[in-house]
A and B are shown apart, each in its own frame.
Chain A
Amino acid sequence: MRATTLISSFIITIGAAIAASSLPSYFPTLPVPSDNPQTPAKIALGRQLFYDARLSADNTISCSSCHQQQFAFSNAGNKVSTGIRGQRGSRNAPSLGNVAWRKSYFWEGGSPTLELQAMGPITAHDEMGMEPSVLTKKLSSIAGYAGQFKAVFSDGVTMLNVTKAISAFTRTLVTADSPYDRYRAGDLEAMSPAALRGMELFLGEKGDCFHCHGGFNFTDEALHNTGVNLENKDIGLARLTGKKTDEGKFKTPTLRNVALSKTYMHDGSIPTLEAVLEHYNSGGKDNDNVDVLMRPLYLTKPEISDLIAFLNALTDKNFTTDSNFSRPKLP
């Protein structure tokens, strides 16, 4: 075995061991694709790219413009994203917390890997508006980047390597230290009585949240029409399948750090957690494809308050201040 292979195997093993030891027991192992192993140099490169507005056509928008750390890498309460030249998109930028475990990406779930997902915002005309050939030329001309790419990837700056580096960084965005997590770890004081009552409702048939927002990451990774709109201008999954019955279906987002995202649903159309709870309590707006699970819940106001207290207990403050995730010095 060559020395470089040994060293990289060592780094991967150490990285995996650290990740495994710091994760709560109810978290699955951090998924890392075999063709894009995590290395410190690659993660550092990806972090710089994530924060660098030069990845956009007019040097104004970076990934971090819509995925801001203090908001758990969601979009600072903006309903939809604003891209280059002030263009407004049509969707709410989701949190990137625990993005490594997502089974598919984008609101209609059309992208199968984190690496391929990274292409979307970079190339979308109303986000970063960058042509791959222009971007690779641009990054190659920045000495600090050219050297790092060469050190991390044998073939230097390519679009694929850009997406691999960014994904290596976003894969490290693990959030697992909320009051809920501390409660599960045995700190019985970590959650307030209201949050505990809210958890009971959340996990029971009365609140009925867990059917879609279940599991360690509070998502079933499936697509549902939750009756947000009577008419679906954004057709969601149907954009992929062309099926009328898929109109208005979107992926279930994680609820970790949900209190920090400030706007809700795929289009950011619901402004507060209270309004979200009212939406679900009412059974949503009826439309042809509304999910069978959508029905009036008849929750009382105190019960709604308790549910909100529980949702607030999913906020991981350390995640929003961790210096490993903050803006680095750029080349």
Chain B
Amino acid sequence: MKKVLFAIVVLTALTVAALGNAQSGLVNFELKANINVGDAPLELGKTYKTPSGTEYTVDMVRFYTSNVQLVKADGSSLNVTGVSLLNLMSDAPAAGKLMDGGQVNNATASKGATFFKLQAPAGEYKGVRFEIGVPKDLNHRDASTTLMPLGLESGMFWAWNPGYIFFRLEGKTLISDKSQPWLLHMGTDNWRMNVNLFDLTTNKVKVAVTEGGSYTVNLNLAKLFEKGPNSQASWDLTNPAQRVMHGGPNVGQAYLNLLGAWSGQ
């Protein structure tokens, strides 16, 4: 009897939620990412090679997404509020208490990792835009009073800088037969990445927003190593200044490389 009652309560709640969305004309939709190295899905811990031949692994990919916009056929955009943190790692932190509009999406597989959940009117959109980072307004609030996905518990707070790491990549590399950590921590308001995946002219991008549907973008991490800083042909992980980047002068090139790493389906 208890089970039946429980099922009725759950069904009623789902129906009410669905009706609520139907009445508001909104459907649940997700942005997903195929995080690749070249053409193949990233495997955490697997050894890859940079163009200059240095071996590396990727053990963690974490980034914030905000200022999501769905592009309409007339070129105008539908703004979606909220900030999301994607944790692609083997041991992601618990989501904890979320701030209003906040979301934490944990993934262990790089193919089709949900990085932003949204509600929007159903329909076909001509593209999607989003920012990799935390909006300026939130980036500089007191981290000790801010809830997830921000705040101290997120593991993304950048203690020496009032703000968050927007994009965090970590792994290991082999230098002189010795395993060393390599990392890219990109943040500060200068390096909030604008990803624009829309094309009204050629209709290459189509985002069909339907209830429970999704749109998948690609992020090719191999692009990070394509061009090195200071006009070097490629990234050099044997150079400590390029192996460990908590901000700093080389992040500008990493930013440019990663801007070209995103593509639509």
A interface residues (Cβ-Cβ under 8 A, vs B): 35, 87, 106, 108, 110-113, 115-121, 123-126, 131-134, 136, 158-160, 163, 233, 235, 239-240, 242
Checking B91, B153, B249 against A158 with a beta-carbon cut-off of 8 angstroms, the contacting residue is: B153
User: Does B216 have its Cβ within 8 Å of any Cβ on chain A?
Assistant: no
Assess A119 versus B244: contact at CB under 8 Å? Given A160-B152, A163-B152.
no
Give the contact stretch, choosing among B107-115, B131-139, B159-167, B205-213: B159-167
Assess A242 versus B160: contact at CB under 8 Å? Given A132-B153, A133-B93, A235-B248.
no
User: Does B236 have its Cβ within 8 Å of any Cβ on chain A?
Assistant: no
Checking B159, B241, B246 against A111 with a beta-carbon cut-off of 8 angstroms, the contacting residue is: B159
Q: Tell whether, in the assembled complex, residue A111 and residue B190 are in contact, meaning their CB atoms are under 8 Å apart.
A: no
CB B222 to nearest CB in A, in angstroms, measures: 23
User: Does B170 have its Cβ within 8 Å of any Cβ on chain A?
Assistant: yes
Q: Tell whether, in the assembled complex, residue B155 and residue A131 are in contact, meaning their CB atoms are under 8 Å apart.
A: yes
Checking B92, B144, B183, B247 against A116 with a beta-carbon cut-off of 8 angstroms, the contacting residue is: B144
CB B73 to nearest CB in A, in angstroms, measures: 38
User: Does B88 have its Cβ within 8 Å of any Cβ on chain A?
Assistant: no
Query: Which residues of chain A are near B248, meaning CB under 8 Å?
Result: 235, 239
Assembly CA distance A108 to B248 (angstroms):
12
- Please give me the residue from chain B that is nearest to A91 by CB atom: B160
Query: Which residues of chain A are near B181, meaning CB under 8 Å?
Result: 87, 125
Interface residues of B in 222-253 (CB under 8 A from A): 241, 244, 246-249
CB B75 to nearest CB in A, in angstroms, measures: 32
Query: Which residues of chain A are near B188, meaning CB under 8 Å?
Result: 240, 242
Q: Tell whether, in the assembled complex, residue A132 and residue B93 are in contact, meaning their CB atoms are under 8 Å apart.
A: yes
Q: Tell whether, in the assembled complex, residue B160 and residue A108 are in contact, meaning their CB atoms are under 8 Å apart.
A: yes
Checking B157, B183, B241, B247 against A119 with a beta-carbon cut-off of 8 angstroms, the contacting residue is: B157
CB A264 to nearest CB in B, in angstroms, measures: 21
User: Does B94 have its Cβ within 8 Å of any Cβ on chain A?
Assistant: yes
Checking B190, B244, B247 against A126 with a beta-carbon cut-off of 8 angstroms, the contacting residue is: B244
A-B contacts, 5 of them at CB < 8 A, read A111-B162, A116-B144, A132-B153, A163-B152, A239-B160
- Please give me the residue from chain B that is nearest to A164 by CB atom: B144
Assembly CA distance A115 to B151 (angstroms):
12
Q: Tell whether, in the assembled complex, residue B155 and residue A235 are in contact, meaning their CB atoms are under 8 Å apart.
A: no
Q: Tell whether, in the assembled complex, residue B153 and residue A116 are in contact, meaning their CB atoms are under 8 Å apart.
A: no
Interface residue tally on B, bucketed by range: 20 to 34
Checking A116, A136, A160, A242 against B159 with a beta-carbon cut-off of 8 angstroms, the contacting residue is: A116
Assess A117 versus B159: contact at CB under 8 Å? Given A132-B93, A133-B94.
yes
Assess A235 versus B249: contact at CB under 8 Å? Given A119-B159, A120-B159, A133-B93.
yes
Query: Which residues of chain B are near A126, meaning CB under 8 Å?
Result: 244
Query: Which residues of chain A are near B246, meaning CB under 8 Å?
Result: 124
Assess A111 versus B153: contact at CB under 8 Å? Given A116-B144, A132-B93, A239-B247.
no
* A112, A113, A125, most chain B CB atoms within 10 A: A125
User: Does B154 have its Cβ within 8 Å of any Cβ on chain A?
Assistant: yes
Query: Which residues of chain B are near A119, meaning CB under 8 Å?
Result: 152, 157, 159
Query: Which residues of chain A are near B247, meaning CB under 8 Å?
Result: 239
User: Does B143 have its Cβ within 8 Å of any Cβ on chain A?
Assistant: yes
Q: Tell whether, in the assembled complex, residue A123 and residue B159 are in contact, meaning their CB atoms are under 8 Å apart.
A: yes
Given contacts A111-B159, A160-B153, A239-B161, 15 further A-B contacts (CB under 8 A): A108-B160, A115-B144, A116-B152, A124-B246, A125-B170, A131-B155, A132-B93, A133-B92, A133-B153, A133-B155, A160-B144, A160-B152, A233-B241, A240-B161, A240-B188
Q: Tell whether, in the assembled complex, residue B190 and residue A132 are in contact, meaning their CB atoms are under 8 Å apart.
A: no
Assess A132 versus B161: contact at CB under 8 Å? Given A160-B144, A235-B249.
no
CB B175 to nearest CB in A, in angstroms, measures: 12
Query: Which residues of chain B are near A113, meaning CB under 8 Å?
Result: 144
* B159, B170, B248, most chain A CB atoms within 10 A: B159
CB A37 to nearest CB in B, in angstroms, measures: 14
Assess A132 versus B155: contact at CB under 8 Å? Given A126-B244, A235-B248.
yes
Assembly CA distance A158 to B162 (angstroms):
20
Query: Which residues of chain B are near A134, meaning CB under 8 Å?
Result: 91
CB A138 to nearest CB in B, in angstroms, measures: 13
